[in-house]
Amino acid sequence: MTKLDSKIPQGPLAEKWTHYKEHARLVNPANRKKLDIIVVGTGIAGSSAAATLGEMGYNVKVFCYQDMPRRAHSVAAQGGINAAKNYKNDGDSVYRLFYDMIKGGDYRSREANVYRAAEVSNASIDQLVAQGVPFAREYGGTLANRSFGGVQVSRTFYAQGQTGQQVLLGCYSGLCRQVDQGMVTMYARRDVLDIVIIDGKARGIVARNLVTGEIERHAAHAVVLATGGYGTIYYLSTLAVNSNATAAWAAYKRGAFFGNPSFVQIHPTSLPVLNEYQSKLTLMSESLRNDGRIWVPKDKEDKRHPNNIPEEDRDYYLERRYPAYGNLVPRDVGSRAAKERCDAGYGVGPTGLSVYLDFKDAILKQGKKAIAAKYGNLFELYHRVTGSDPYEEPMRIYPAGHYTMGGLWVDYGLMTTISGLFAIGESNFSDHGANRLGASSLMQCAGDGYFILPYTISDFLAGEIRTPRISTDNKAFEEAEKTVAERIDKLLKVNGKKTALSFHKRLGNIMWNYCGMARNEAGLQKAYGMVEELEKEFWKDVRVPGTSRELNQELEKAIRVADFFGLARLMITDGLDRKESCGAHFREESQTGSGEAKRIDSQYSYVAAWEYTGDGSAPVLHKEPLVFENVELKERSYQ
Amino acid sequence: MKVRLKIWRQPNATAKGKFVTYDMDSVSPEMSFLEMLDSLNGMLVEKGEMPVAFEHDCREGICGSCGLYINGYPHGPQKLATTCHLYMRVFRDGQTIVVEPWRARPFPVIRDLIVDRTALEKILVAGGYVSVDTGQATESNTTKVSKEHADEAYDSAVCIGCGACVAACKNASAMLFVSAKVSQFALLPQGKVEAKRRVQRMVARMDELGFGNCTNSYACEAECPKGIRITNIARMNREFWKAKVCGQKTV
């Protein structure tokens, strides 16, 4: 049994990262150009890491499945990016940001990692501003802030409702600069299908060129995965429809442990499911909850138009249940509260699966112009998609699969259990525990890519300066390429009747119903069997037309869906193991009297790191105990 | 509702393409245009035919992947919307809908409706950035930026790089795209230091890649799904001539 070593540095919390940096091994500039690094994924984490590593003098190769890095799904983050600048003078500090994240994550994250994420947050803002990211400003010319769910300070920097786009484009511009200078080579339109391990170290990847269909080998001294989350496992989610888990899953199958796979954040404010054809759930930024009030009618039978329902007949259920935080409760709490109302029959809209998000009071108080300045583009988006005008009537919203706190297990240096394989951004499990607070994902991605990985990967590469360039002729490459080619061949040969997408929809349904916002023992067990059955059916009845040697989008989909089956089972297995509720993981068997998540710290205060042991056999659970030296574990209360 | 689709099919970059007609009998007005294509593709795949290749990803109008030329308009007839935000309710029952890829020499067709738009990235690589090394930035609030400038820079920076401006232009000009980036940095103090070099390099790269000159017909502005203003082009021209006339070094 492999021992998990999180390699947390000794010393007081606030000094750990400084101590680490001061003692990490360095690579001499002359040696850096002899070392190759592969970065997979070009969102905020991947782009910022690749740009920084290129700038340091390493040879960097970057891979993405899109035609250009700028399209990675970080682009869709709306609300903002947190930092502990305390520009609002409301008592914010690195410690408070750390504390809010630990508490928001329901005490299931590592203190040292979270503290470091908070610690580097300010530098990320400075970096992005210097790159020309046009964050919102006050009339005096200083940066503006707003508040976000789950906290009591205003520490969120934003660019209207398109912060992710602006931050990503900032990171991408840095990447372009390194491409210009010849330090980074771009490999766009590639799906990374396997990780190549030589003598126990990650030394390369096998990728499919999505235009020619050619299987390519790429070697390096270290591999960084910045491949994002796996929320598309629900089929309908707020993610880009091509987002996938394939590279991370390949890493898992090659020996990287998967941390807390069942921890998935269901975002409370998405557009509801409107029809059976829908391919996507569009997010409505959480920032809307700053001014919007969420309600349902007090009477189940009240079918009046929302504008005709008077105040006294409305149930502002978040304000009622959580007076201290009101509409700004953390996402998991907000999502469950919406589900609770809808399950009880108070939901609105044709399906009964939505609640109102109302701006009437805010418009009356601040004026339409002020609301338009803050949320104009979101209101237009809503109007365009639904045909209803949120200035005139309340929005209808419902929770949707959004962010995966789970991901590849990494140590303090962001290295997975495979030596030389790193995971950053959403693809790792590390900073958000069982629930992520709003605007902390951009913060983590930029922090990982700009300020953390460059130090930790250098510490690893310092031991590699005598390793010559890795050759792609190595047997391990041959074996990986063969595995990939055989699998593709197998998919093409099934020649069944159903599309990959139809399987994806069905899988998504199973996961949403049994491993979504609420889980229980019987449901999870049932879902496990259903996923197994569906996978069998997939391999008997999927139809992938065309060949592997051409641009073949059906093949791309089929490969991604095929990987989701295994991941779905792993999520369910993890959900079964964790019999407590914590954060977004809500086990119905474990709740408080008022229906809140009830943690069982004595038994479950650990990170579940799962080890792959073969397709036919059960994964092995390794527990990383979570030790809290700086915060006291409390029942998370937002009342 | 029913619609008749005439879709450009071209198996690869070198093959000769042609329009193929597909009749769709049960389209819901609530479907997005891409969901309608998903359903066409589902039917094609079940018959063992190759589906229509088209690009898409976020399906919320921000990644810039999708881009179809629909009935003569980039991203279709709806203003200020990407193809993924186009809904079937804007079409009439029984309407014929012609779907083509972006047509521009710098954007060669890869397959069906997918074109290669990396020429846009090549222009950004030629200076579409501020040269600041990681960790060298000063405390943000030491540089103040007026709200007006920050907001205007933001309005230029929201470009999603979809290429509709190029597709809309009879000269296949990329000037709206390039000028949006040039403007963003020209408006902010952070971008000033390299402004002269940047505009000259980016314009030179744009010309080299085969994009045409501005036609002054405003088609790009009319078709831009993000509302990028043509005043950016005027600003870029000013920046360009300022650099040529007053620059210490011509790039």
Q: What is the pLDDT of residues A547-604, one digit of tens each?
A: 999 999 999 999 999 999 999 999 999 999 999 999 999 999 999 988 889 999 999 9
Q: Which residues of B touch A278 (CB under 8 A)?
A: 35
* pLDDT average, residue stretch B146-157: 97
What pLDDT, on a 0 to 100 scale, did the predictor assign at position A90?
94
Q: What is the pLDDT of residues A114-152, one digit of tens each?
A: 999 999 999 999 999 999 999 999 999 999 998 887 788
Whether B126 and B193 map to the same domain: the answer is yes
| CATH class of the domain whose range is A478-604 | mainly alpha
Alpha-helix runs per DSSP H in A281-422: 317-321, 331-343, 360-366, 368-386
Question: Domain total for chain B?
Answer: 2
Whether B154 and B98 map to the same domain: the answer is no
Q: What is the DSSP string of A332-363?
A: HHHHHHHHHHHHTT---STTS--EEEE-HHHH
| B16 located within any domain | yes
- May I ask the CATH architecture of the domain A268-401? Alpha-Beta Complex (3.90)
Q: Which of B38, B41, B134 sits opposite A55 (nearest CB)?
A: B134
Q: What is the ipTM of this complex?
A: 0.98
Residue A331 annotated as catalytic: yes
Whether B102 and B147 map to the same domain: the answer is no
Contact with chain B for residue A18, Cβ under 8 A: no
Give the separation between CA A227 and CA A213, rounded to whole angstroms: 21
Contact with chain B for residue A383, Cβ under 8 A: no
Give the separation between CA B173 and CA B163, rounded to whole angstroms: 10
Location of structure tokens 């999502």: A335
Q: Which residues of B touch A173 (CB under 8 A)?
A: 124, 128-130
- Give the number of beta-carbon pairs within 8 Å between A and B: 217
Q: What is the pLDDT of residues A13-61, one digit of tens each?
A: 999 999 999 999 999 999 999 999 999 999 999 999 999 999 999 999 9
| B158 located within any domain | yes
Whether B150 and B238 map to the same domain: the answer is yes
> Which of the pair, B63 or B251, is modelled with greater confidence?
B63
Point out the catalytic residue in the list A217, A314, A331, A396: A331
What number of other Cβ atoms are within 10 A of residue A345's Cβ?
10
What pLDDT, on a 0 to 100 scale, did the predictor assign at position A573?
98
Residue numbers of the domain that contains B179: 118-131+143-246
What pLDDT, on a 0 to 100 scale, did the predictor assign at position B151?
95
pLDDT beyond 90 at A204: yes
Whether B77 and B155 map to the same domain: the answer is no
Whether B126 and B204 map to the same domain: the answer is yes
| B90 located within any domain | yes
* pLDDT average, residue stretch A254-274: 95
* pLDDT average, residue stretch B69-79: 97
Q: What is the pLDDT of residues B216-242, one digit of tens each?
A: 999 999 999 999 999 999 999 999 999
CATH number 3.50.50.60 is the correct assignment for the domain at A13-263+405-464: yes
Cβ of B128 and A173 within 8 Å? yes
Alpha-helix runs per DSSP H in B55-194: 118-125, 147-157, 164-168, 175-187, 189-192
**Threshold 0.90, pTM exceeds:** yes
The domain that contains B40 carries what CATH number? 3.10.20.30
pLDDT beyond 80 at A1: no
Whether B163 and B60 map to the same domain: the answer is no
Domains in chain A: boundaries: 13-263+405-464, 268-401, 478-604
Residue A130 to chain B, least CA–CA distance (Å): 6
Whether B39 and B61 map to the same domain: the answer is yes
Contact with chain B for residue A125, Cβ under 8 A: yes
Query: Backbone dihedral region of B166: left (phi > 0), alpha (psi from -120 to 50 degrees) or beta?
Result: alpha
Whether B12 and B48 map to the same domain: the answer is yes
Residue A74 to chain B, least CA–CA distance (Å): 9
| B86 located within any domain | yes
Q: What is the pLDDT of residues A281-324, one digit of tens each?
A: 998 888 899 899 999 999 999 999 999 999 999 999 999 999 99
Cβ of B48 and A498 within 8 Å? no
* pLDDT average, residue stretch B73-90: 95
Location of structure tokens 């000033």: B192
What pLDDT, on a 0 to 100 scale, did the predictor assign at position A2?
56
Q: Are B75 and B82 contacting, i.e. CB atoms less than 8 angstroms apart? A: yes
What pLDDT, on a 0 to 100 scale, did the predictor assign at position A408?
98
Residue B243 to chain A, least CA–CA distance (Å): 20
CA distances from A308 to A91, A394, A395, A599 (A): 42, 11, 15, 42
| B138 located within any domain | no
Residue B29 to chain A, least CA–CA distance (Å): 11
Query: Which H or E run includes A222?
Result: strand A222-225
Cβ of B141 and A143 within 8 Å? yes
| B251 located within any domain | no
CA distances from A250 to A191, A472, B28 (A): 12, 18, 39
Q: Which of A123, A134, A283 sits opposite B150 (nearest CB)?
A: A134
> Which of the pair, A576 or B249, is modelled with greater confidence?
A576
Q: What is the pLDDT of residues A433-453, one digit of tens each?
A: 999 999 999 999 999 999 999
Q: Residue A103, Cα to own-chain centre: how many angstroms?
A: 18
With CA atoms as reference, report the closest residue to B177 among B190, B159, B189.
B159
pLDDT beyond 70 at A364: yes
Whether B127 and B239 map to the same domain: the answer is yes
* pLDDT average, residue stretch B157-176: 98
What pLDDT, on a 0 to 100 scale, did the predictor assign at position A387?
86
Whether B12 and B78 map to the same domain: the answer is yes
pLDDT beyond 80 at B247: no
What pLDDT, on a 0 to 100 scale, did the predictor assign at position A183?
97
- Mutate one of A62, A126, A237, A556 to test the B interface: name it (highest B CB count within 10 A): A126
What pLDDT, on a 0 to 100 scale, did the predictor assign at position A564?
98
Query: Backbone dihedral region of A609: left (phi > 0), alpha (psi from -120 to 50 degrees) or beta?
Result: beta
What pLDDT, on a 0 to 100 scale, did the predictor assign at position A636?
81
Whether B124 and B191 map to the same domain: the answer is yes
